[in-house]
Amino acid sequence: MLEIKLHGRGGQGVVVASQILARAFFLMGMYPQCYSLFGGERRGAPVTSFLRVDEKKILLKCEIKRPDQIIFMAPDLIDERDIDIMLKPKGLILINTSLTADQFSRLRTYQLSLVDASSIAEQVGLGRTINTAVLGAYCRANSSIPITCLESAIKEAVPTKVEINLEAARRAYEVTQVFPVRE
C-alpha cells in the first residue's frame, strides 16, 4: 500500500489535488482512498490531505501517521526536523519552491523533487491555485504514474479552465528536478 500526505494552505487546491491524484490512480486500475483535515475554512490556513492507494480494496480507516511520500504545496510548512519522524526511510518528498536542492541538503537522504509550481500556475493564469502544477511534478517524481493518466483525471475533475490546468501540469512535469537518495 502506498500512503501519501499532502500539506498546503487553503486556496492552493490541496483537497482537490488529492481527489485528482486518487482519480489518476483509479484510472490505472488501483484502489484509492482519500480524505482531508483542516481547521477553519479560510484562505491561507494549513490544510492536510491524505491518500492511500493499493492494488486491492483498502479497509484501513485511520489517519496516515508515517507516509511513504509527502507533498509540500507550501514550503513554509516544512519542518525538516519532523520529516525524519514523519516520513518512511528513503521516502519521496516533493516541494513547491523556488529554492535549490542545496538549500534542502538535510533532506537528500530522501527522494527529493523540487518544482516552482507557484510560478507555473501564475504564468498560465491559475493564480494561487497550484494543484495541477504540483500534480504534474508528482508524476515526474513518482515515475509510476503516466502523465496521460493525470491528464485524463484533470479532464474529469476540473470543471473550468481545463486547458490551462493541463498546461500547468505539463509544464511542471517537464521542469521538475528529481534528486535520488544520497546515501
Q: Where are the alpha helices (DSSP H) in the chain?
A: 14-27, 80-86, 117-124, 131-141, 147-157, 162-175
- Asked if 37 contacts 58 with a C-beta cutoff of 8 angstroms, the reply is no
Mean pLDDT of all residues in 67-95: 92
The CATH topology of domain 2-179 is: Pyruvate-ferredoxin Oxidoreductase; domain 3 (3.40.920)
Q: Which residues pair with 50 in a beta bridge?
A: 5, 35
pLDDT tens per residue, range 45-79: 888 999 999 999 999 888 898 999 999 998 899 98
Comparing 160 with 172, the larger pLDDT belongs to 172
| Cut 0.75: pTM above it | yes
Residue 151 confidence (pLDDT) above 70: yes
Which residues fall within 8 angstroms of residue 82, CB to CB, at 6 or more apart? none
Mean pLDDT of all residues in 133-147: 95
pLDDT tens per residue, range 13-49: 899 999 999 999 999 999 999 988 766 556 678 889 9
- Asked if 96 contacts 33 with a C-beta cutoff of 8 angstroms, the reply is no
Write down the mean pLDDT value for the chain.
92
